[in-house]
Amino acid sequence: MFEVKLQRDIVFDPRYPNECLLDIATPIVDQPSPLFVFFHGGGLSGGEHTLGPELIALSAQYGIAVVSAGYRLLPNAVFPDFIEDAAKALGYVYHDMQAKDSFSSVFVGGSSAGGYLSMMLDFAPSFLAAQSLSPDMIDGWIFDAGQPTTHYALLQSQSVDPRCVRIDERAPLYYLDESLQQKRTVPVLIIAASDDMPNRREENVVLYTAMKSLGYPEDRLRMIVMDGYTHTGYVGARRGEDQYVYADLIGEFIHANAK
CA distance 118 to 111: 9
Q: Write out pLDDT tens, residues 144-183.
A: 999 999 999 999 999 999 999 999 999 999 999 887 766 6
Nearest 5°: the CA angle 229, 218, 55 is 40
C-alpha distances in Å from residue 231, one per residue of 12, 55, 145 = 29, 18, 7
Q: Which domain holds residue 237?
A: 4-257
Residue 62: give its domain's CATH number: 3.40.50.1820
CA distance 4 to 63: 9
In this prediction, residue 199 carries a pLDDT of 96
CA distance 18 to 11: 8
Q: How many domains does the chain have?
A: 1
Q: Write out pLDDT tens, residues 69-105.
A: 999 999 999 999 999 999 999 999 999 999 988 999 9
- Is the pTM of the predicted complex or chain greater than 0.95? yes
